[in-house]
Amino acid sequence: MTLRTRYEFTLPRGYVDEQGAVHRTGVMRLATARDELEPLRDPTIDGPDDPRLTIVVLARVVERLGSLELVTTHEIEGLFAADLAYLQDFYGVINFGTQDEFDAFVAAQSGGAPVSQQPAVPTAAVPTVAGPTAPGAAPAAPAVTAAPAGGPAETSAPAPVPTTAIGDAPAPTARRSAIEEIPAEPR
């Protein structure tokens, strides 16, 4: 048995380079401990809650984006917001999720039913993004949508949001890493 360490993805919109070419497909590898720790040593990063941390970590793990063989913070910063959010979710699923969660995520993005190597189950949980919160307030936990086989989706109540010692901020899911939602700027 071999461990899968690289995953192909397709961005919802795509990165537009300086020549106007659109790059939608790419490859992300599993993150290492170093991928999450080294950016914290970067002098441009103010700590684990710095929104730029997401950009730096993604630039380390995205190996290819369209025809671009070298993906840097410049390219990640140039992504549309929907594509950045997609990569954040993709990072979380491939690094901390189960195969069923990965299958459900991919199926949700493509609009199809999840394809799994596991026996079929009656429902598939797919996380949805919660709306913005007031400045200083803890972000809402993501609601989980369960789609019964052949039936309409139902939304369950949000689960409590766990915290960790690093930054002691609520995590958007049950797992926490250096990649998480970028906090909203106070207005």
Q: What's 136's DSSP letter?
A: T
What is the rounded distance in angstroms from the CA atom of residue 38 to the CA atom of residue 28?
Answer: 18
> Do 6 and 90 form a contact (C-beta atoms < 8 A)?
no
Predicted local distance difference test score (pLDDT) of residue 16: 96
Residue 87 lies in a domain: yes
Query: What are the backbone dihedrals phi and psi of residue 82, each rounded to the nearest 5 degrees, phi first?
Result: -65, -35
Range(s) of the domain holding residue 91: 6-116
Predicted local distance difference test score (pLDDT) of residue 5: 94
What is the rounded distance in angstroms from the CA atom of residue 45 to the CA atom of residue 28?
Answer: 22
Residue 32 lies in a domain: yes
Block residue for tokens 């939602």: 181
Q: Is the pLDDT of residue 164 over 50?
A: no
Residue 24 lies in a domain: yes
Residue 71 lies in a domain: yes
Predicted local distance difference test score (pLDDT) of residue 71: 96
Q: What is the dihedral of CA 142, 93, 57, 11, to 10 degrees?
A: -90
Residue 145 lies in a domain: no
What is the rounded distance in angstroms from the CA atom of residue 79 to the CA atom of residue 40?
Answer: 22
DSSP string for 54-74:
HHHHHHHHEEEETTBS---HH
Alpha helices in 97-168 (DSSP H): 99-110
Domain count for the chain? 1
Q: What average pLDDT does the chain have?
A: 73
Predicted local distance difference test score (pLDDT) of residue 172: 42
pLDDT > 90: percent of the chain: 49
Give the angle 179-1-105 at the CA atoms, nearest 5°.
35
Element (H, E) at 87: helix 81-96
Predicted local distance difference test score (pLDDT) of residue 143: 39
What is the rounded distance in angstroms from the CA atom of residue 79 to the CA atom of residue 14?
Answer: 7
Q: Is the pLDDT of residue 148 over 60?
A: no
Please state the rounded mean pLDDT for residues 97-116: 78
Predicted local distance difference test score (pLDDT) of residue 140: 41
Residue 13 lies in a domain: yes
Please state the rounded mean pLDDT for residues 111-124: 45
| pLDDT band at residue 145 using 50, 70 and 90 as cut-offs | very low
Q: Of 25-29, 76-80, 98-102, 178-182, where does mean pLDDT reach its minimum?
A: 178-182
What is the rounded distance in angstroms from the CA atom of residue 2 to the CA atom of residue 16?
Answer: 35
pLDDT > 70: percent of the chain: 59
| Between 54 and 184, residue with greater pLDDT | 54
Residue 55 lies in a domain: yes
Read off the pTM. 0.61
Residue 158 lies in a domain: no
